[in-house]
Chain A
């Protein structure tokens, strides 16, 4: 018997993206595995698994909250992990140029991450991003664009903090403000979703094609209002904890770094106490 948890579905878009990302890595490294490759592959693999998994299926057809988990993982876990694995030394100068760009304009990374998150949650755009009918191997151009942009936004958002060139990363305390303000951006969106009327996104009111609506409502006890609240709260509370963990990491990185000793000669006060 098919259960909701057995809904692993082939996803052409995600599979193509996975192959593209792996190819891109080996293009960058001229076919070699470099330091941090594990991070890169983990990010790619997580993206693929998520896209094929029942979580994706539930998010696409039944629950905004499941979609939100996907969204947070793509933006805040897959994106940064892929970034952490991008090698610093590459024959191609585009990586260095991107680092320089985000060093000069870190707010562009912020805008990419937070702006895109808000953009995809505008109700009409959100509804449009979901397929209206079945297409070839589950490939829906807008849904693919949705996933691709979230992943890219995650990479660009993290670039000023975790970019491959350490010398071109934002100062840790700037990074702290960067992440804290991102948390505010997330919280406000989460707050809206939590307390908005449950009819915000029409997509989830469509006909139950796969027949799991009853299971979700009666066995899991999740109705539309609760689903939207859960989605908003995920954006508000756990999502912010990810940012805050980043803030703490940056703070400790700053505070524990060694400083050059200062030399001030012939200090009057020092002489007086001597």
Chain B
């Protein structure tokens, strides 16, 4: 039998050709954190395309009233898959991709603590995602929404095997995510460069450390709930089945005790990215390092004390609501602290309006809108009025897209030269930025009004009520504009990779250790490290050199 030798990696960015040893097989077998980081990002792009197509089909269906473009059953499957895909298979892998790529580089390590576990986590996550999509071929995708409420998730209401695939797929994704988080925690705690105490950790690394603890704490309730649901559906147990003594409310508690921290799991890494981006493009140290890190810790701790605000319409009683309304408002405080930290960082800085910086600045606006509509939901009567309406859809997209995704975009444009070795065309990048910002706001801002006017979410069509038609049409046009902007983004990334200008080690005059090495970094990240005097180790090195030159 012919044997195939697994190729030893020679470079960080081998081709994807199947004709040579450093091609496809090298990517599949890699345990290098940089390649795995890129694979995570590619996984995210793959599912972004799938989730994006689902979103477009939804918007086409909703573009006009009384539309029959999609059947109600298919519509249910599409909005469920869209939400599940975007949360678990797009945002999470994108965050993990940036984390596993840049955390070792920013702390002066040559890889993660457990490289094989890193690879395992990636592939098991991808496999989970593929299983979820296989459900389309196996009789029907899950159709009870991304939070999959009981009793809709029971076999009596969802007879296809879609929800079984949802359970197994998300269990696998969860195992992968927890695995990577443990890997990141161990790496950050044990593999930092000599002299890099936690006080000198770059803000992004701090946020990933906090986020990893959050993941390790938040995913077990979800995985327990998924296992229990699978038992309900396959072995007729009674955890969530109200007709046989189970409690659908327990599903909601278990899901949201994961689901609310998940919101912060998706936003904290973006907070870290933005903290790096604002510093570098403002040419100033972050304003209030300890507050920005401290507020990250406060957010992570408070995240577990507010989940009941997702259940204000359940009927848990006014006493419960009063407490959780108060705690939900409280969590806005550390988030607000961060926004002021970033504004303070820009204040008096020498700003450079790169595409990355534009995304960071736009984040401040979009995320604040999402945050304010979130605080509105902490007010119980408003929640009762608006729950399950398009106001919720608008709010969550302003948080997930206007918050998390804008942050990730800022990170993409900031770090792309490091990952690819090529510069992105700023001109095209700005085209993308404006197209995306206009498309995003056109799609979702109007949905606040739709929600206030009473349009329910997750209903496959609507009657021709005053205002509904033009607002939905506008939202659909915005959705297509966003899609167009993504096509432009892929073109920009491809073009830059092929014919972009070489980036050099440090194209942004940046502050952290990843910029001390070549772009893209070699397989072995570091052969030497500068002394670490602060969380801006590379900047210190450059400043010292400058001072020495001028004899200071």
Contacts and interface: CB of A to CB of B under 8 A. Distances in A.
Interface in A81-134: none
B317 A229 contact: yes
Contacts of B327: 237, 241
A79 to B, nearest CB: 22
B53 interface: no
Interface in B523-552: 528-533, 541-542, 544-545, 548-549
Contact of A256 (B290, B304, B528): B290
Contact of B319 (A226, A247, A254, A269): A226
Contact of A237 (B253, B301, B323): B323
A255 B541 contact: no
Contacts, number: 91
Nearest to B527: A268
Interface in B283-320: 289-290, 293-294, 297-298, 301-302, 304-305, 317, 319-320
B544 A251 contact: no
A52 to B, nearest CB: 28
B345 interface: no
Interface residues of A, number: 36
Interface centre among B198, B319, B326, B533 (most CB of A within 10 A): B319
Nearest to A237: B323
A216 interface: no
Interface of A: 173, 176, 180, 183-184, 187, 194-195, 225-226, 229-230, 233, 236-237, 240-241, 244, 247-248, 251-252, 254-257, 259, 261-262, 264, 267-270, 273-274
Given A237-B326, A274-B548, 16 more contacts: A180-B301, A229-B317, A230-B319, A233-B323, A241-B327, A247-B297, A247-B298, A248-B297, A252-B294, A255-B289, A255-B290, A261-B533, A264-B531, A267-B528, A269-B529, A270-B531
Contact of B305 (A194, A195, A240, A269): A240
Contacts of A257: 199
A194 B549 CA distance: 67
Contacts of B289: 255
B304 A187 contact: yes
Contact of B293 (A225, A255, A259): A255
A189 B515 CA distance: 48
By secondary structure, the B interface counts as helix
B288 to A, nearest CB: 11
Contact of B531 (A183, A184, A194, A262): A262
Nearest to B530: A269
- Top 3 nearest A-B pairs by Cβ distance? A273-B545, A264-B531, A255-B290
13 contacts: A173-B198, A183-B301, A233-B319, A233-B323, A236-B305, A244-B302, A251-B297, A256-B290, A262-B531, A264-B195, A267-B530, A273-B530, A273-B544
B324 interface: yes
Contacts of A262: 194-195, 531-533
B294 A255 contact: yes
B197 interface: yes
A270 B290 contact: no
A269 B516 contact: yes
Contacts of B298: 244, 247-248
B324 A237 contact: yes
B548 A229 contact: no
Contacts of B293: 251, 255
A259 B195 CA distance: 10
Nearest to B542: A273
B297 A184 contact: no
A274 B198 CA distance: 27
B528 A269 contact: yes
A273 to B, nearest CB: 4
A106 to B, nearest CB: 18
Contact of A255 (B199, B542, B544): B199
A195 B254 CA distance: 13
Nearest to B540: A270
A5 to B, nearest CB: 22
A260 B163 CA distance: 56
A269 B541 contact: yes
Contacts of B541: 269-270, 273
A263 to B, nearest CB: 8
A229 B308 CA distance: 14
